[in-house]
Copies of this chain bind each other. A is one copy, B any other.
């Protein structure tokens, strides 16, 4: 999506570095008209799939997920992050190894809100090593639900996450695919 690529080029890089920062428009401040355009793009890609629920993980996926769910007219379910390994029987849980922070945590979702007949669209802001996305898929699969695919705002396509998940047989639709970031901050899209 051209609008998102432009936003990344204009605001996404810390000058003189290769650090990608999306906190001016996605994960601290949120450009709501931009995420609405992302939502419309995913709706157009997945509108024939009879989606019954949009899943994401707190926190920065929630805005994108809600805007997207508006078009499908379905609820959102956001998985919660926890450091606890003591998960009650009421929840499905899966482990995430965060690429950004190098930390391990679990995400959980109540068994009440994912059902076998659900057709789930996963939405998230960022895809790097794919750990969060694989964990969301694991929660949905634990309930026997069908994961129709994933809508990602920004994929670091020079990392393995996206292609891992595609090789697992899932449809992953990333609106901006970054193929490289040079040491001077120059970004290429693929």
Contacts and interface: CB of A to CB of B under 8 A. Distances in A.
Contact of A66 (B23, B35, B75, B77): B35
Q: How many monomers of this chain does the complex have? A: 2
Contacts of A23: 110
A67 interface: yes
Given A28-B113, A58-B59, A63-B63, A33 B73 contact: yes
Interface size class of A (residues with CB under 8 A): 20 to 34
Contacts of A96: none
A24 B113 contact: yes
Interface of A: 23-24, 28-33, 35-36, 58-60, 62-63, 65-67, 69-70, 73-78, 80, 109-110, 112-113
16 contacts: A28-B77, A28-B110, A29-B75, A30-B65, A30-B76, A30-B77, A32-B69, A32-B70, A32-B76, A33-B73, A59-B62, A59-B78, A62-B66, A63-B63, A66-B66, A67-B70
